[in-house]
Structure 1
Amino acid sequence: MAIPAENRFESDPDEVLPDGHGLPDGWSVAAPDPGDPADVAALVHLLRAHEEAARGWASADDDTVLVEISEVGVRTRENLLVRDRRGDVRAWGSVHDRAAGRMLYSHVVARDLRDDVAQRCSEVLFAWAEAQAREVGAARGLPVQQIDTGAFAGDDRQHRWLAAAGFERVREWWQMSRPVEAAEADLVPDPVTWEARGVRFRLVRREEVDGVRTGMPDVDDLRAVHEVLEGAFTDHFNSREETFGEFVHRLREDPGHRWDHWWLAERVDDEARAGHGGTPEPCGALVGTHLESEDGPDGSYVEYLGVLASARGRGVAKGLLRTVVADAAARGRDRVGLEVDASSSTGADGLYVSMGWQTRYVTESWHKDVPVE
């Protein structure tokens, strides 16, 4: 499970930002200090205020910030802070070398700044992000590097800045949630493993100690999950090839990562075994995470759900969704969340709605292609 050998970004802001950033006198730019609790607290406050203003409610916490700035993500991420003359954090940019040709970018500017100062902070962050796109694109040997950033659907200020910086709004995403009742623990015979219509649904295998799954997962199972998802999303919007090492490293960064939230679906009928050397044929996968709550019950989240085209129509997606709901109910959780492409041609949204999911809020993808000099 190799991870990237080195950071492809430029860590020194002075190397990528033009001389004279144009910020007010006494303001500065620098990388955050992940070991400084004050920096972490400041970024949590900044991000929560951004969420509150743009979405209506906040969810960011220490873990949300640390996954971006801590040593865990140092090989695939870089960050830039804008500080005022008192040293307070007023803006934050974060880039993530997500996959070949795709760089994720987060752009947050304090909501209480005067408009002209806020816009200048925004322009500095965009200039830095484009420079980082050229750095990572050159390191990957690409002629063009995509910057992929997001915005809440109602955030007019962010939309205005993105359009002015040359970004194009390309997609909407429905952020959906479904309530979970305790009785739904019986939706499937056992979330660990069960079968229906020639398909077996099971957790990825892990080492057992005294009959309890406590060890690392089976690498072959993880590779099967990766291969299924790569195959299932080949024709989906903005799908980019991601190596196995990049895939596992990225998902393990998530604060809610749990190995016992990864499921495989396998065809076990005679036809599938005959075409797969006599062994079950992986045909679907679901990667879930644990959603912690500040108050009240926790939840589960469907990070990935994919079914190979050859297995569609067999109830694989529905079986995996029933499994994660039953698992959440058994754990005493009260909801399962997921994201769906509002323009998807697969009809996934119809399945989710039929199974009780409702849209809670909407996000958008904005893209810009940066020529690599």
Structure 2
Amino acid sequence: MPYDLRPAALADAPAVTDLLNAIDLREIGRPETDLHTVVADLKHPETDLTQDSWLAFDGDRLVAYGLLWDESGGERIDVDHYVLPEHQEAGLLVLEAMETRALAKARENGAERAVVHLHLNVRPTLDTDLLRTRGWAVVRRYHVLRRPLDPTTDLAPSLPEGVRVRPCTTEEDRVRVHALHQSSFARHFDFQPRGYAQWLHDIGAEGLDWSLVWIVDTDDFGDSGFLLARNDREAMGWIRSIGVLSEARGRGLAGLLLRHAFAAFAARGRGMVGLGVDTSNDTGAPQLYARHGMTVHYAVDTWEAVLR
């Protein structure tokens, strides 16, 4: 079956959102993709839509979508890939185009190879045999966790002596949260250093409710950790990231921030909260979330290809 392949534009965001929600229904049983998320992806500062995006059409119907971005300035390249299960040939066309562009982009950066990462549901609509035959392999697994909220029991926690939690209300606070994020995540798998302006785009700062971003500080360590949440997902409140500096870990600060976020979302009438976690995280995060009642919603694998 012939497919029409062309780059995406911002005007295609509603069609891409519809496609991703159709795939959500197949993979996790409910649509959970919001239009503003797709728009933010298409506006990624390290993406040139004319070269780094692909839409595959069967007649007038969008059946596959791909996006590429480069945050490393080196060999590491990221891609997204979505395809309806009955249109694997279109998925292959998009995959081939992304691989070609990824290698070219890495070479533009002065690298001899491209190390490409793709996140897929563990039961994706893409036929993973297409990936394996092209040398892709799973290198990491993430869990999307969720937890129901109850405004009568999810109340703001009491703060231990010498510990304070403040909302991120000033530009100085925002700069501090960026620094805490870069420091606390520096040793995490696949971390890419991001400057302040890049990070602001990553978190969608223009539309972010900064009252859902908190900093925890202590008498002995000063500003020690942060939690960044957002309330613009239809499916659930979302904790985008939570981090504590290595020297301040083991003191219950992450759990304190987590309970603080639960209380804030419950007070706003949200019935569910979610977050994503690397299952191989060695800071104890998966165990922390389990202790706080979070359970697996679905799982995502990181696939990697090394292209030369």
The alignment's TM-score, normalised by the length of structure 1, stands at: 0.74
- Within the alignment, does 1:202 sit opposite 2:139 as a pair? no
Q: In structure 1, what is the equivalent of residue 47 of structure 2?
A: 76
Q: How many residues of Structure 1 are paired with residues of Structure 2 in the alignment?
A: 304
CA distance in 2, matches of 1:254, 1:178: 27
CA distance in 2, matches of 1:199, 1:229: 19
Amino acid at match of 1:105: V
- Please give the per-residue CA displacement for 1:231-270, whole angstroms capped at 9, x wherever unaligned: 2122221222222221111111797x32222111112x2x
- Within the alignment, does 1:349 sit opposite 2:286 as a pair? yes
Amino acid at match of 2:199: F
Q: In structure 1, what is the equivalent of residue 78 of structure 2?
A: 104
What secondary structure is seen at the aligned counterpart in 2 of 1:285? strand
Q: In structure 2, what is the equivalent of residue 132 of structure 1?
A: 101
CA distance in 1, matches of 2:164, 2:7: 48
Q: Is 1:77–1:97's contact at 8 Å kept on the other side of the alignment?
A: no
Q: CA deviation at 1:77?
A: 5.2
Q: In structure 2, what is the equivalent of residue 260 of structure 1?
A: 211
CA distance in 2, matches of 1:144, 1:59: 35
Structure 2 residue ranges without an equivalent (≥5): none
Q: In structure 2, what is the equivalent of residue 93 of structure 1?
A: 66
Amino acid at match of 2:180: V
Q: In structure 2, what is the equivalent of residue 13 of structure 1?
A: none
Q: In structure 2, what is the equivalent of residue 31 of structure 1?
A: 7
Amino acid at match of 2:165: F
Structure 1 vs Structure 2 CA RMSD: 2.4
What secondary structure is seen at the aligned counterpart in 1 of 2:146? strand
Q: Is 1:100–1:242's contact at 8 Å kept on the other side of the alignment?
A: no
CA pair 336-349 structure 1, distance change in 2 beyond 3 A: same
- Please give the per-residue CA displacement for 1:265-320, whole angstroms capped at 9, x wherever unaligned: 112x2x44xxxxxxxx2211111111433xxxx63211111111110111110111
Q: Is 1:77–1:94's contact at 8 Å kept on the other side of the alignment?
A: no
Query: Which aligned runs of 4 or more in structure 1 are off by greater than 6 angstroms?
Result: none
Q: CA deviation at 1:99?
A: 3.8
Question: Rg larger in 1 or in 2?
Answer: 1
Q: CA deviation at 1:173?
A: 1.0
CA distance in 1, matches of 2:38, 2:55: 13
- Within the alignment, does 1:122 sit opposite 2:91 as a pair? yes
- Within the alignment, does 1:290 sit opposite 2:231 as a pair? yes
The alignment's TM-score, normalised by the length of structure 2, stands at: 0.88
Q: In structure 2, what is the equivalent of residue 301 of structure 1?
A: 238
CA distance in 2, matches of 1:283, 1:142: 36
What secondary structure is seen at the aligned counterpart in 2 of 1:183? coil
Q: In structure 1, what is the equivalent of residue 157 of structure 2?
A: 188
CA distance in 1, matches of 2:126, 2:46: 31
Matches within 5 A, 1:1-373: 24=2, 27-35=3-11, 39-69=12-42, 72-73=43-44, 75-76=46-47, 78=49, 79-84=53-58, 86-101=59-74, 102-113=76-87, 118-119=88-89, 121-155=90-124, 157-184=126-153, 186-188=155-157, 195-206=159-170, 218=171, 220-252=172-204, 257-267=208-218, 269=219, 271-272=220-221, 281-293=222-234, 299-371=236-308
- Please give the per-residue CA displacement for 1:114-158, whole angstroms capped at 9, x wherever unaligned: xxxx23x22321222123323432444434332211111123743
Q: CA deviation at 1:50?
A: 1.8
Q: Is 1:67–1:73's contact at 8 Å kept on the other side of the alignment?
A: yes
Q: Is 1:299–1:328's contact at 8 Å kept on the other side of the alignment?
A: no
Amino acid at match of 1:91: A
Q: Is 2:40–2:204's contact at 8 Å kept on the other side of the alignment?
A: no
Amino acid at match of 2:141: E
CA pair 74-315 structure 1, distance change in 2 beyond 3 A: closer
Aligned-pair identity in percent equals 25
CA distance in 2, matches of 1:164, 1:316: 45
CA distance in 1, matches of 2:4, 2:275: 38
Q: Is 2:113–2:307's contact at 8 Å kept on the other side of the alignment?
A: yes
Amino acid at match of 2:226: A
Q: Is 1:100–1:140's contact at 8 Å kept on the other side of the alignment?
A: yes
Structure 1 residue ranges without an equivalent (≥5): 1-22, 190-194, 207-217, 273-280
CA pair 305-61 structure 1, distance change in 2 beyond 3 A: closer
What secondary structure is seen at the aligned counterpart in 1 of 2:114? strand
CA distance in 2, matches of 1:73, 1:237: 21
CA distance in 2, matches of 1:128, 1:59: 27
CA pair 338-130 structure 1, distance change in 2 beyond 3 A: same
Q: CA deviation at 1:75?
A: 5.0
CA distance in 2, matches of 1:236, 1:360: 22
